[in-house]
Amino acid sequence: MSTKQQSTWTKTIVASMTSYIDAGSIVAGAAGLSLWEAYLGMGSVQLGMLAAFSSNAISAALGALIGGYICDRFGRKLVYTYDLVFYMLGMLLIVFAVNFPMLFAGYCVVGLSVGADVVASWTLIAENAPAKNRAKHCGSAQVAWALGPAVVLVMSVILGGLGLLGNRIVFAHLIVVALITWILRLRMPESDSWIANKEKEQELIAKGLWRKPRMRDLFIGPNLKGVMFLFGVYTIWNLCAGTMGFFLPYIYEKVGGVSNATANALTVGLFLTSALSTLTLFMRLADRYSRRVIYRVVACLFIAAWSIFLLPEQSLTMPLLVTFAILVGINNGSGQQAFYQMWGSELFPARYRASAQGVLFFSARVFLGFWSLCLPVITESFGFKVAAIFLVAFATISMLIGTIFNPNTAGKTLEQIEAERYGSVGTSPLSVNEQTGEQPQEYMAT
């Protein structure tokens, strides 16, 4: 392996650790929520505030929106370098919390940091990855995303006898991982793609041939097509994934009729299956074979998984619950999120790349928040089977959109993809027709 290849994989692995500490923070919060509730005497309002502003909801959504804008305006490295400092400060507040304001502040700071960091890291992975192996590099983040919750759940079981102290230790281990990642990041350079784009942009602006990018540009022309496509693929899919992330223990226990220990074991198995799926399917196949076929097959497995809960409750035997965990695990590792992470960088020019991901990440978390409010009401009023009908519908819509409009981007450089989508005159300064000096037209110039 060449030095260049080693350097590329080093960048990828360091960036991927964001997914470990992001997903780990979400699961650590869920695993210890009842312990914090008892320790601080929290009521339903305080519990709702923690859920709404955690790494899985509003604070992460806002962090992604803000972080994406900063990444495109001032560089990936600015967010990439300093964001984890705030993450560690937020984690320290949680680890040493002795009252609700400390705990809540920690959740908010961690959530904001996670949202910004995911956008920066996922963008950097795609920009640094070789065109022929982009899926392989992007998949590394999905492996880390699965391992984070798996490790946290195993630690929570092992340290369960320590009570709240055990949960504090689980959070503390994420600080250690973040510190190591931050130290490694200090040596990492800025994205070459962003530097080249910024230099070209400044040159064209000085000549009067371009203007500074604006957030509203994401909602016109080819940018809008990309946003709408990924909204259908990821945001709608995330309604199912978010349901799994927050309500899965409840579903296993209340609908499947298993014990809490069994529910946790099934969840660990799900995440381990996710990691294995990414390694054996997405990372090995998505650069070499039809992405449309891979996407359709794996997305259909997700539909089949949620369809299990359309069966009568007495039919939900352990083999069916294990089947659900396996099918969802395969989808989590090689399905919509893996493709979204890759497409989120491929389908937008460098000047809008992180901002677009920030907007999409924001929408996914906000819509999930609304759905999370509706789901308990639907379940309580009509039973979980009705909720499962909605989940199957969401999974089906996401499958159809991703299959029908699947972009042909495999093996192409980001610059090639940009030229195909935007032509010689487009939203990227790299696509301005320099031979004629043609001023960007229509939505590009207004």
Distance CA(241)–CA(239), nearest Å, equals 6
Establish if 400 belongs to a structural domain.
yes
Q: Is residue 322 part of a domain?
A: yes
The answer to the question of residue 2 being in a domain is: no
Taking the mean position of all CA atoms in its chain, how far away is CA 312? 33
- Domain of 263 in residue numbering reads as 7-442
Residue 225 in any domain: the answer is yes
Q: How many domains does the chain have?
A: 1
Residues found in the chain: 446
Tens of pLDDT, residue by residue, the chain (446 residues): 343 444 788 888 888 888 898 888 888 887 787 788 889 888 877 877 777 777 777 888 899 999 999 998 888 888 888 889 999 999 999 999 999 999 999 999 998 998 998 888 888 888 888 888 899 999 888 899 889 888 998 898 888 889 899 999 999 999 999 999 999 888 888 888 888 888 887 787 777 777 777 778 888 888 999 999 999 999 999 999 888 776 777 678 777 788 777 887 888 899 999 999 999 999 999 999 999 999 999 999 999 999 999 998 778 889 999 999 999 999 999 999 999 989 998 999 888 899 999 999 999 988 887 887 788 788 888 888 899 999 999 999 999 999 999 999 988 888 889 888 887 544 444 444 433 334 444 333 22
**With contact defined as beta carbons under 8 Å apart, do 181 and 84 qualify?**
yes
Whether 1 maps to a domain, the answer reads no
- In a domain, residue 85? The reply is yes
Domain of residue 309, CATH code: 1.20.1250.20
pTM of the model: 0.85
Residue 363 in any domain: the answer is: yes
- The pLDDT, as a whole number, for residue 246 is 65
Q: Is residue 393 part of a domain?
A: yes
